[in-house]
Amino acid sequence: MSAAGLAAPPRAPAAEPGERLRRAARRWGPVLALYGGLKLVGFLVFLHLLDSTGDFRRKNPRFGGGAHAWDVLSSWDGWWYQQIAVHGYHPALIPIPDATGPLTLQGNSAAFFPLYPALMRLVSEVTGLGPYGAGLLVSVVASFAAALGIHRVTAGLWGHRAGLVAAGLWAVWPGSGVEWAVYSDSLYVALTAWACHAVLARNWLTAGFLTCAAGLNRPTSVTLIAAVTVAALLAVARTHRSGRPRGSGRRWGGGRLWRGDRPRCGGRFRDGGGSWDGRGARQVCRWPDGGRFPAADHAPDGVRARAGERVPDGDRVLAGVVRPLVAVGVAPLGLLGYLGWVGLRTGEPGGYFALQSGAWQHEFDFGRHTATVFTSVPVGHFDYPYAWPLADVVGVGVVLLALVLLPLLLRLRPPAVLVTHTVLTLLLVLGSQQIFGNVSRYLLPAFPLFVPVAVALSRLPTALRLALLTLAAVASGSYAGYVLFELGVP
């Protein structure tokens, strides 16, 4: 059949705003409701534990204290973010006089990346909220955006129910206490999840700019940059392997989009774009476990082509080579730009890393500190730097859980972008010297680790699934909130 014979049927009239809103509510409502409900339960338990013990009232407001329970949410890193939002940056490497220990430099705001406090400042000016309220609003909104992104990525590969459970796990995972606090973690995970989704959808420019934004938010964005780069180079390699088309174009007849998956294409896809089959129906790719994704993305990356239609050389090169390479170029600009600016202002090229090491004792030590913790905690010794016994026990449990979940994730044959990001995040966290009790928080961006649990829970009856998530939400008020903020350092 000729390409002309495959002309797409006329588009349906645009839906009314009310109908679009109802569709959005049906599509996103369950995800937002599940995440919001579970998170609210854990949040209220956390506040109740704070108020019932009252220990925070005897602490410095900068370090887990305050006049009210909710003041704890803006302590520790939150204090720094508020100072930056109000007063801006003053980068400097200021030695501590007569310092003899590992800390040789005074703490400085340059250790905290600028995107989150910039949004705090913007929201404060628009709404009239103070830095605390603005920061909390940004975090809460970003946490819901992260839940939607995690759902989209998981549902696209492993089905809607698994995606819904993954969004629920984001609310109760160890370390999730910082999601509704004056911390940048929710924003970073939201950018990471949607950048991964953009890669899987082959929206390369979107992926590049989201990764660039993530680089302005957290230094650990280096793992996301590497993941986007690997996925983009694989896309370029696929385009190169496809060979130069003969004549005026190349006929597209299928292929694989997400590396490692072998979907079956056919049927109708009712949402968004897609390729047209010979009967005028949009195709959809179906994975054996229920995930779906438009078959249009099985054409050369980013090309919306009808089955059997000739794809012009220019479109193929633009979508399969140029856009991925542009994403590779754009992705690291945020991270490199901020590190370069700090180096310029401090007069030392590695000024940011010198500050992290000298003022916070955070540095990559190839896992020596992690090994020390793992050999000390089991025998009840807490004589290593920054030991917080209960928080560290939770941290050890989180690491062991992650090491169990990683091979289970790999058995599901996830796309390269998810594998690269998850593995590098684990290596970066476990290979660094830091406050070990924080590893639960630092591993939050490795959300693909939720997937094996989400897939398993999605097979349970709905009532049992909700009961287990609700129980975890209640417990998270302690292990993900109170332990992190009051019995450790978040």
pLDDT tens-digit readout, 179-205? 999 999 999 999 999 999 999 999 999
Q: What is the mean pLDDT of residues 468-489?
A: 95
Span 340-347, average pLDDT: 95
Could you give the C-alpha distances from 338 to 79, 190, 192, 216, 485, in angstroms and in order?
21, 20, 18, 7, 28
What's the pLDDT score for residue 247? 30
If you average pLDDT over residues 347-372, what whole number do you get? 93
Tens digit of each residue's pLDDT (9 = 90 or more) over 218-259: 999 999 999 999 999 999 988 777 654 333 333 322 333 333
**Angle at CA of residue 23, ends 22 and 28, nearest 5°:** 100
Res 277 pLDDT > 80:
no
Is 330's pLDDT higher than 60?
A: yes
Average pLDDT value over all residues in the chain: 84
> Looking at 91-100, 174-183, 325-334, 435-444, which range is the least confident one?
91-100
pTM of the entire predicted model: 0.85
- Domains in the chain: boundaries: 34-239+326-486, 249-323
Q: What is the pLDDT of residues 58-104, one digit of tens each?
A: 999 899 888 999 999 999 999 999 999 999 999 999 998 877 778 88
The proportion of the chain whose per-residue pLDDT surpasses 90, expressed as a percent, equals 69
pLDDT at 360 over 70: yes
379-435 per-position pLDDT tens digit: 999 999 889 999 999 999 999 999 999 999 999 999 999 999 999 999 999 999 999
With beta carbons less than 8 A apart as the criterion, state whether 365 and 432 touch.
yes
Give the pLDDT score at 340: 96
What is the β-pairing status of strands 292-294 and 284-286?
antiparallel
Q: Is the pLDDT of residue 57 over 70?
A: yes
Residue 445 pLDDT exceeds 90? yes
Provide the pLDDT confidence category of residue 41 given band limits of 50, 70 and 90.
Answer: very high
Does residue 385 or residue 305 have the better pLDDT? 385
Q: What angle do CA 258, 262, 267 make, to 5 degrees?
A: 100
CB-CB contact of 426 with 446 (8 Å): yes
Per-residue pLDDT, 315: 57
- Residue 22: pLDDT band (50, 70, 90) is confident
